[in-house]
Amino acid sequence: MRGVIDDDPYLWLEDISGEAALAWVAERNAETAAALAGDPGFAELKRRLREVLDASDRIPYTVRRGAFLYDFWQDAEHVRGVWRRTTLEQYRKDAPEWEVLLDVDALAEAEDEKWVWAGARVRHPAYDRALLLLSRDGGDAVVVREFDLATRTFVEGGFEVAEAKTRIGWIDADTVFVGTDLGPGSLTDAGYPRTVRRWRRGTPIEEAALVFEAETGDVAAWGHRDTTPGFEREFVGRSPDFFRTEMHLVADGGELVRIDVPDDADAYIHRQYLIVTLKSEWLGHPAGALLAFGFDAFLAGDRTAEVLFSPDERTALAGQSWTRRHLILETMRDVTTRIEVLTPPTGGAGGWTREPLADVPALSVAGIVDTDPDVSDEYFLDVSGFLQPSTLSRGEIGGDSEILKQAPARFDATGLEVRQHFATSADGTRVPYFVIGPDRTATGPGPTLLYGYGGFEVSLTPFYSGVTGRAWLERGGTYVIANIRGGGEYGPRWHQAALRAERPRAFEDFAAVAADLVARGITTPAMLGAEGGSNGGLLMGAMLTRYPELFGAIVSEVPLLDMCRFHKLLAGASWIAEYGDPGDEADLPHLRLLSPYHHLAADRTYPPVLLMTSTRDDRVHPGHARKTAARLRELGHEVLFHENTGGGHSGASDNEQVAHNDALVHTFLWRHLTS
């Protein structure tokens, strides 16, 4: 194979904080800054993007916990952010009064640490204490500290866990389930907790009682207590790989009772129901179906299911949320959302009933932001589209609804339209994609940015982006989202069609969309750019090495690119189910074929490339992007590289970094696609 590297000369760049590697990174960053940040329009573009990100009239999306609505907020004044709460009465106002619980900027300054907010586990149903998760500069690993919501202070002598990829959750006021790094044998090969322990307040974490243990080769173990009043139960389990889960009920005396559903299904227990989303056929029901069982009856052997959703060729399940008496179901038909309310029978008689919840405009997306399943049938619903800023409504199922917040437009959409087309892939599959921009039949081909992901059953749905609007659409560009296989737009079958050795189907789909854009006169290869991150960064590597003639420029962010070593780098072992196992001789041949890093060659013509990563990305190793940039440079190809020192897998941990990164990307693309 042309360009294959058997003895990798760039392994030294995998040393994340090594002196030589960081010196190399500094040199590349300086080159990129000189090339892009020195552009005459860079500073103004960055300023306008930062203005969008910091805007005070953004919708503060909240989560209800008891009487309060909680929110985490970042802006120019609160760079690292504040965790805060308010009441519904206040939230209805244009300028609510917020009670600040934790100022992360102040904490970072006081402790001289680059803290990044990573979430909170608030104790239910009392809502009096929280386990706060804080990341150092954006990595997945966190420290855990107990926090008192009444006094707004950390609890002295409370639960505290050192930095690790910890999983933790409340059992009761003085006990938690915890899985963390406790030394040799406590983590899986992927770096996640291998054990679940019951840890009592005031005792050393090392002495916490072992409840459950996964295998070293599994992805992770987990434990959870259902604290729903009247349905208090404990569950533990393990994830043998990224897509399979084994779940057990912790019965009296600590006995583990296996919940006998397919291990590739998504399953959970809600009150008296076991809810199962199938990824493969089971009990005569197709992959993609949503089933409801009586939980106690299921444990007793009854497999009678109520079918809550069954897919077809154009429709897939997108999400579900419980209120006190109803289940809100989100589905997609050709990647446009539909929402309906399902109501279980009362008194055990009759079947589930259903009715629409809200009308959703075509080529738009609607999603349930939050519900209050313990107490009421309240729901918060957000509706938006590519050219339609978000509208947030609150309602009660069976009652009235009210518009709470409407986001203002962030860019001039005059003359822009949204269309959906279908490309035909190499094997004849119809692949949907969205086009946002001017009518090119009137203007002729123009600069176009094609974005894709194509993995892990992640669906790319319509969304409103002020950043994309200002950086690309306002300037006359066309923006395109490709719904390629590997994603979840059409349910499990769409994802499974591009698994492991079948990954090239996703690449072929993306290339088919690129070719279709040219055939429709929307753009030309010289004016067509491509962008993707993480698994989408692998997609960009495939476009570079397999279809370079289709593109005028490519941006690959926090990417996987060395598919022969990914399992040895950070969390890479957890993705073996998606790609295959480089340590297995049966998988290695197709992984070599998939690996962009191993197919770079001097005698091919590549479009200009921008590679972006983060030193603090402890999920996808920065070595992927570093080594690929070094190899492209060695072979004489045009490549720029930027590595943010913080930010984790998102590539940025605050709005300043986000604006800077986005300005780099769009300056690079605009320069190459309009010259």
Q: How far apart are CA 234 and CA 250, in angstroms?
A: 5
DSSP string, 595-627: -GGGG--TTS----EEEEEETT-SSS-THHHHH
Tell me if 234 sits within 8 A of 255, measured CB to CB.
no
> Would residue 534 show up in a list of annotated catalytic residues for this protein?
yes
Sheet strands (E) in 471-517: 478-482
Sheet strands (E) in 286-440: 290-294, 306-309, 315-322, 327-333, 336-343, 353-358, 364-371, 378-385, 388-396, 401-406, 417-424, 430-437
At 596, the amino acid letter reads P
**Secondary structure class of 138 (helix, strand, coil):** coil
At 28, the amino acid letter reads R
Q: How far apart are CA 552 and CA 669, in angstroms?
A: 9
Q: How far apart are CA 628 and CA 626, in angstroms?
A: 6
Tell me if 324 sits within 8 A of 306, measured CB to CB.
no
User: In the 8-state DSSP scheme, what is residue 285?
Assistant: B
Q: How far apart are the first and last CA of the chain?
A: 34
Backbone angles phi, psi at 366, to 5 degrees: -130, 140
**532 has which bridge partners?**
556
**612 has which bridge partners?**
557, 642
List 78, 567, 649, 666, catalytic entry:
649
List 384, 390, 534, 650, catalytic entry:
534
Tell me if 616 sits within 8 A of 138, measured CB to CB.
yes
**220 has which bridge partners?**
239
Tell me if 234 sits within 8 A of 225, measured CB to CB.
yes
Whether the ω angle into residue 361 lies within 30 degrees of 0, i.e. cis, is no
Q: How far apart are CA 452 and CA 489, in angstroms?
A: 12
The tokens for 418 are 């949204």
Tell me if 311 sits within 8 A of 317, measured CB to CB.
yes
Q: Given the structure tokens 């583990």, which residue do they identify?
A: 256
Q: Given the structure tokens 């006995």, which residue do they identify?
A: 255
**Secondary structure class of 469 (helix, strand, coil):** helix
- What helix, strand, coil percent values describe the chain, rounded to 5? 25, 35, 40
**134 has which bridge partners?**
117, 143
Tell me if 358 sits within 8 A of 381, measured CB to CB.
yes
Backbone angles phi, psi at 14, to 5 degrees: -80, -10
Q: Is the dihedral of CA 423, 424, 425, 430 positive or negative?
A: positive
Catalytic amino acids?
A: 534, 649
